[in-house]
Amino acid sequence: MRCQAHGEGRAFIGRVCLRHVYAQPLGAGSLATHAFRVHYATALRDPSPQANFGSMNRQKIAAIFQRLHDADPEPQGELDYISPYTLLVAVALSAQATDVSVNKATGPLFALADTPEKMIALGEARVRDMIKTIGLYRNKAKNVIGLSEQLIERFGGTVPQTRDELETLPGVGRKTANVVMNIAFGEPTIAVDTHIFRLGNRTRVAPGKTPLDVELKLEKAVPTKFKQHAHHWLILHGRYICKARKPDCAACIINDLCEFKAKEL
Ligand code: SF4
């Protein structure tokens, strides 16, 4: 499209050139609310036809994942597990807890119980005692026993592979289901935890108000060839570089691509 005043290749909303929208005064009835201006100012700075209002354009997103891939072609998660079942338990225990704290508890736990049958035989009180260093351990112990029972009753003692089935298990939400599907079954799912939520918004790769918003945007934005490992790349980058309180932008390998306004180089 071409704007008579501003020329070819500018970003448009409907048929209105965004430079015109942006030039409107703020006020009642104006399209140019403050949030609107912030979002569209980003699009205007990038006059490419791919300008994607509020989020990054696809070429930049592909370049980010290419760099993350080149730096770590086979990223690994940091939770210890030995089977889909122990992975499911470990991920369920990791809600609002660090992977390190979960690994400390699951080492001895999985040595005694690495199947649903053995976990049930161990019993809720013993499981509770073995995971008491992890936050919310009472509820988590209950869920570990509950999901073990359900696996035996409804799935022949094996971990189901679909999100719908996984989400029927006690203590298993969308995030846990996505992690299990990705790591245990090789599905290209992206589980949005606190790190990925922060990174999606800061970089503008996938801005969203809720984890589900960010997940759905990542699903659309991440090139197919990078989807399998996107989850781990983003988590590790958020955990060690793009940290919550003080992102280490100077050491960040995508700092020239990131659109975080407050990045410090
Ligand atoms: S440049 Fe800074 S804010 Fe952007 S991804 Fe890197 S560490 Fe995070």
CA distance 113 to 86: 9
Tell me which residue of 87, 100, 72, 107 sits closest to 186, measured CA to CA.
87
pLDDT value, residue 18: 42
189 three-state secondary structure:
coil
Per the CB < 8 A criterion, the answer to whether 243 and 203 are in contact is no
**Could you read off the pLDDT of 37-89 as tens digits, one per residue?**
444 444 334 333 333 446 799 999 999 999 999 999 999 999 999 999 999 99
> Which of 254, 257, 261 has the most ligand 1 atoms within 8 A of CB, as the residue to mutate?
254
- What's the burial of 260, exposed, middle or buried (CB within 10 Å: 0-12/13-18/19+)? middle
Is ligand 1 within 6 A of the CB of residue 252?
yes
Mean pLDDT of all residues in 13-23: 45
Q: Which of 9-18, 158-167, 212-221 has the lowest mean pLDDT?
A: 9-18
Could you tell me which residues come within 8 angstroms of residue 49 by beta carbon, excluding any fewer than 6 positions away?
Answer: 9
CA distance 30 to 47: 23
Is ligand 1 within 6 A of the CB of residue 67?
no
For residue 103, CA distances in Å to 8, 154, 183, 193 come to 56, 28, 16, 18
pLDDT value, residue 45: 40
Ligand 1 atom 8: residue of nearest CA: 242
**Could you read off the pLDDT of 89-113 as tens digits, one per residue?**
999 999 989 999 999 999 999 999 9
- In one-letter notation, the amino acid at residue 238 is G
Nearest atom in ligand 1 to the alpha carbon of residue 259 is 4
**Would you state the structure tokens that stand for residue 19, as one six-digit string?**
């430079």
Per the CB < 8 A criterion, the answer to whether 51 and 57 are in contact is yes
CA distance 45 to 47: 6
CB atoms within 10 A of CB 79: 19
pTM comes to 0.78
Cα 36 to ligand 1 centre (Å): 23
Chain centroid to CA 84: how far? 20
pLDDT value, residue 55: 76
Torsion region of 91: left, alpha or beta (phi above 0 gives left; psi -120 to 50 gives alpha):
alpha
pLDDT band at residue 2, thresholds of 50, 70 and 90?
low
CA distance 252 to 248: 6
DSSP designation for 25: P
Tell me which residue of 131, 134, 109 sits closest to 121, measured CA to CA.
109
* From-to residues of CATH 1.10.340.30 in the chain: 58-265
> To the nearest whole number, what is the mean pLDDT of the chain?
86
CATH topology of domain 58-265: Endonuclease III; domain 1 (1.10.340)
Residue 193 annotated among the catalytic residues of the structure: yes
